[in-house]
Chains A and B, each alone.
Chain A
Amino acid sequence: MLGLLMQGFLLTIEIFAVTLIGALPLGILVALGRMSRFKPLQWLMRIYISIMRGTPLMLQLMAIMFGPYYLFGIQLGTDWKYYACGIGFIINYAAYFAEIYRSGIQSIPRGQYEAANVLGYSHSQTFMRIVLPQVIKRIVPAMGNEIITLVKDTSLAFVLGLLEMFNEAKILAASEVSMIPYLLAGVIYWVICFVIEILLTHLEKKLDYYHD
C-alpha cells in the first residue's frame, strides 16, 4: 500500500515542482504586462487573471484536457494529460503569483527607481538588481500561502486520471475498503507543507538582514 502511495507522492511532487518552476517566472511577466502602460496588453492580462481566478481550477484542467478535441477536433496522445496538467497548473498559479508580484512591485518607493535612473542603470538592470530583490523579501509571506495551497491543489490532477497521491489513495481505499489510505495521504500532505513552512521561515530569516 505504501509503495503505491509513494508512487503517487512522486507524481504529486512533480506537479508541484513543475508548477513552481513555470509559474514563478511567468507570474513576473504577467505582472509586468498587467502594469504595462500599453493598454491592450494591460487589459489582456486583466482578463486572463480574472478568468484564472474566477473559474475553478478543476474546470480549467478539464478545458485544457478536452478542449483541443471538442473545439478543434485535434487528437492528442495519451501523454497529453501530463502536459494538460502542467499547463493548467502553471497558467492558473501564474495569475495568482502575478497579483502578488504586482503588490510587491507597487510597494517599492519611487525614489529607488529615480536613484537607479540617475546612476545610469537601464530599465532591466533596475528591475533585476534593485526592484526584484526587494520585492521578493516583501512577498515571501504571501507567496508562502499560495505555495502551501498548491501542495494540496495538486490533488485536483485526479480529474485528468493522473495517478498522483490523492488518486492512488482513492483507488487503494476502494480496493481495500479502508479509510487508512486517505489518512496516510492526509498525513503526507501535511508533512510536505510542514517542510515547506520550515523552508519559508528559513528564507524569511535569511532575507531579514535589512529592513527599510
Chain B
Amino acid sequence: MTDNAAVVTLKNARKSFGENVVLKDISLQVNQGDVLAIIGPSGGGKSTLLRCLTLLETLDAGNLSYGDLVVCSTDASGRAIYGGKDVLKQAKTRFGLVFQNFNLFPHYTVMKNIIDAPIVVQKRNPAEAEEEARQLLAKMGLAGKENMVPCELSGGQQQRVAIARALALHPQVLYFDEPTSALDPELTQEVLKVIRELAAEKMTMVIVTHEMGFARDVADHLIFMDGGMVVESGRAADVINHPQHERTRSFLSKYEEN
C-alpha cells in the first residue's frame, strides 16, 4: 500500500437504537500512518462509532470500506447493505481493537492470548507466531511474562498484552476504545507510552480518549463528537488549542479546570 492511501473510509454513517439516534451522518477517513483521535462527552456516540467500524454493531445507513474492500454500502432506499461472510471475514483481518477493559482471555496465558488467533484464525506457523509474540512482548516491556495469566498482571500490563494481541494479527489500523479509562494515572502513562511508540512507527490508529494532552501530542487529526455528530474536526493541536465551536470550547474548558 502506498503512503497516504485510505485505510478506512466511512461515509454518511447513521445508527439508531430504537428511537435514540446515536450516529447522525458521520463521515471520516483515515490514511496510512495517520493517528486520529476522537474526543467528546460520554454518550456522544464515540464508542458506537468504533463498534460500527469494528463490525460489532451494524450501521443503519452509510458506506464503509477498508482499503479497496467495500464492507457496507447504501442501497437506493437508503439502507445499509453489508457484504457477505467472506467480505466481513476479510475485513476483520484489516483492523484490531483494544478495549477499555482489556477483554483478555482469562484462562489463557499471556503467550496463548497473543498467539492463539494467529495460529487458529490465520493458520500461521506456531513457532513463528510464538517468536513474533516474544518480540511484541519485549516491545511492550513485558518480556518474561509469557507464562503468566492475565489475573497475575496489573491493569496497565493487561492492556499492553491486549495491544500485543491485536498487533499479532498485523492489522492495517488499530482502534482503541478509551484504552486507559480503567487505569490509574501511573498505569495510564505506561500504556500511553506504548501507543506513542506505535505512533512514532507510523502505525495507523484511531483512538477514542479522554486524555487531551495525549491526543494533542500523538494524534495528527482529531474529531470532537457530541450528540451523534462531528461538531468539530481538524489538526489535533489546532482543535485542542484553538477550538472554534462553542460546544468544543465548553467541553475542553472542563479539562483545563482540572
Contact = CB atoms under 8 A, between A and B. Distances in A.
B149 A210 contact: yes
A105 to B, nearest CB: 15
Interface stretch (B90-98, B198-206, B234-242): B90-98
Interface in A96-152: 109, 111-112, 114-121, 125, 129-130, 133-134, 137
A137 B96 CA distance: 29
For the complex, would chain B's binding face be called helix, strand, loop or mixed by DSSP majority?
A: loop
Given A114-B103, A133-B107, A211-B106, A121 B149 contact: no
Contacts of A117: 55-56, 92
Q: How large is the interface on B (under 10, 10 to 19, 20 to 34, 35 or more residues)?
A: 20 to 34
Interface residues of A, number: 21
A120 B107 contact: no
A119 B169 contact: yes
Interface in B89-146: 89, 92-93, 95-97, 99, 101, 103-107, 116-117, 120-122
A114 B92 contact: no
A71 B101 CA distance: 58
Contacts of B155: none
A112 B105 contact: yes
Contacts, number: 62
A118 to B, nearest CB: 5
A133 B105 CA distance: 10
A112 B117 CA distance: 14
Contacts of A133: 107
B105 A111 contact: no
B228 interface: no
B93 A120 contact: yes
Contacts of A176: none
Q: Which 7 A-B pairs have the closest CB atoms?
A: A212-B106, A115-B103, A111-B103, A120-B121, A119-B117, A210-B149, A118-B97
